[in-house]
Amino acid sequence: MESRKVEQVEVDVKFGAKLSFNRTGIMTNPELSAELIQGAKETIPSSKGDATQIAAHRAEYMNDVLPIGSPPVVMENGEEAPEGSLPDHLGGPLLLDKLGERLAFERQGTRLYEAFLKKIEALALVDGSGPSVEDLQHICEQELEHFTLLQKIITGMGADATVQTPSADIAGVLSHGILQIVTDPRTTIAQTLQAMLNAELADNDGWEMLQGLAAELGQKDLEEQCQRAFEEEQEHLKKVRGWLLSMTLDEATAMEADEEVVEDDGGEANDKMEQPSKGRNKRRKKSAKSSGPSKGRKKRKK
């Protein structure tokens, strides 16, 4: 126990007596790390081979050929509708599967933007290069419109819009991380935007693919509906990308400013470095209303 105390003191001194700092790197505890590395180098594995064996075993399970789930079918009174209920030229189950995917994505997208919007409201940022409440409200409404549009399209085909299709399920698993980041009260606006960028990229490609599929199947009306939704999603992507870029650049500028303060006054700077993100939040709260990327850059130039 005594020796551990001594080590702790050394670490604290080395990192400027800070209580909170990132401990994940190998250099955090150099002496312990040296022992760890030495031990690992001397390891004799209990079995021969390399990482490819994991993939080989995974492949072996694939022989069981069990899918995630079946594509949706048109049901009538709890039974599969007779052949021809959903015209073959609609691409049938494949089209329903992909429509179900977009529906699930847009519905979750609505909840994601609702959560994002509340985060912006809670932080009460009066300015900055990030999105405003109104910006997010607008996108959120469009996500909801897309969801209800898809409900109408699917039910219009005689299918059940409440079905969780295999592609919808896959999209749900994929977006789990996005949901975790957006609903985590600890994440910053920039981190949330990073998550939303992933969502918008997937959503854009999803609509583009759906539009292409509709065109391929000769579904003119559907193609046009997808085209309109795709255009709106392109706008979302452009905005999210812009906000993220601006906020990242703002962050870099703020860090530069922090460094300048460090040079001016070492003691005060140490205090600020303990909670860097809080410092920047304060600064952003002071500044004016906002929102687009260009405005953010202008401010930096000043």
Partner 1 sequence: MSLELMKEKGIPLDKQKFDWRDIVRMPTSKLDDDALTRVRIILMNGIESEALRFQHACARMNKELQLALARVRRIEQHQQTMINWMLPADLSPLETTIGFEQVAIEVTASVAQHEPDPYLAQVYRFGLLEDFDHMYRFAALMDRVSGRDANNILQSYSDILPGRPTSVEHRAPEDDLRECYDRNKAQPISKLNAVTIMGGEHQTHDYYMTIGPMFADPVARQLYAEIASIEEQHVTQYESIIDPEETWLEKWLMHEAAEIYNYYSCLQYETNSRVKSIWERFVDYELGHLHYVLAVFRKFDKRDPDEIIPESLPEPIEYKSHREYVRKVLAAEVNLRARGKQIIRKEEETPDSPSVLYRQQMNSNGSPSEIVAAGYKWKPGTELAQETPDIKKLQKKVA
Binding site for partner 1 (CB under 8 A): 61, 64, 66-70, 104, 107-112, 115, 144, 147-148, 151-152, 155, 160-166, 169-170, 172-173, 176, 179-185
Nearer to partner 1, 1 or 65 (CB): 65
Query: Which residues have C-beta within 8 Å of that of residue 59, sequence separation ≥ 6?
Result: none
CB of 151 to partner 1, least distance (A): 6
Q: Dihedral, CA atoms, 14, 16, 20, 21, nearest 10 degrees?
A: -50
Nearer to partner 1, 11 or 115 (CB): 115
Short-list 227, 216, 200, CA closest to 95: 216
Strands (E), the chain: 75-76, 79-80
Angstrom distances, CA of residue 293 to CA of 25, 204, 223, 243, 285:
34, 20, 32, 5, 17
Tell me how many degrees the CA angle 271-276-280 measures, rounded to the nearest 5.
115
Residue in the block written with tokens 């999803």 = 206
CB of 126 to partner 1, least distance (A): 24
**How many whole angstroms separate alpha carbon 182 and alpha carbon 131?**
14
CB of 14 to partner 1, least distance (A): 32
Nearer to partner 1, 105 or 243 (CB): 105
CB of 107 to partner 1, least distance (A): 4
Nearer to partner 1, 109 or 242 (CB): 109
Nearer to partner 1, 191 or 234 (CB): 191
CB of 194 to partner 1, least distance (A): 14
Could you give the angle at which helices 166-174 and 176-183 cross, rounded to 10 degrees?
Answer: 40
Residue in the block written with tokens 């089209």 = 95
Query: Which residues have C-beta within 8 Å of that of residue 166, sequence separation ≥ 6?
Result: 67, 68, 69, 70, 71, 97
Short-list 5, 173, 47, CA closest to 105: 173
Residue in the block written with tokens 């490609």 = 205
Nearer to partner 1, 169 or 258 (CB): 169
Nearer to partner 1, 165 or 211 (CB): 165
CB of 236 to partner 1, least distance (A): 16
CB of 231 to partner 1, least distance (A): 22
